[in-house]
Structure 1
């Protein structure tokens, strides 16, 4: 299976992305989702195949979702309180 996708990022939520089939565009994305997502910002166009690796999503799940429902929504990673504390501490370290 191969799917040519346009990938959009959300202007409202960091690291939230929408994958849609290039030919269909955003027509398969529900209006409510688009309202929450914000005005999509095109990032890239990519040919997805079973052999391709994605950084934070299973390529097979993405391809099937795009084919079956018209889109795949990649949510931002969950950051727990411990990780927030580590990130805050690291940002306070002196840069050399």
Structure 2
């Protein structure tokens, strides 16, 4: 029984880490598009909305490069609350950077 519980906790942690990383990737790409004027909106606002749509929270958003077209974001995602209280698993984090090709 303990082995099954450990496997469930590990699977939840892995799924949450994947969700945080995917949210960071998509948020960075969307923000980079916004910074280049390809889609409307403030890049960091677009990144926050994109991360939220993926079940994550935007922790930071920074712009660099010519015209601020390179965007770096950090996201976090919580493990399912049913599992979080049991194992006190920390939030998963993701980081991504996007912009025009060099």
TM range (shorter): under 0.3
State the TM-score, normalized to the length of structure 2: 0.26
Name the structure where helix makes up a greater proportion of residues.
2
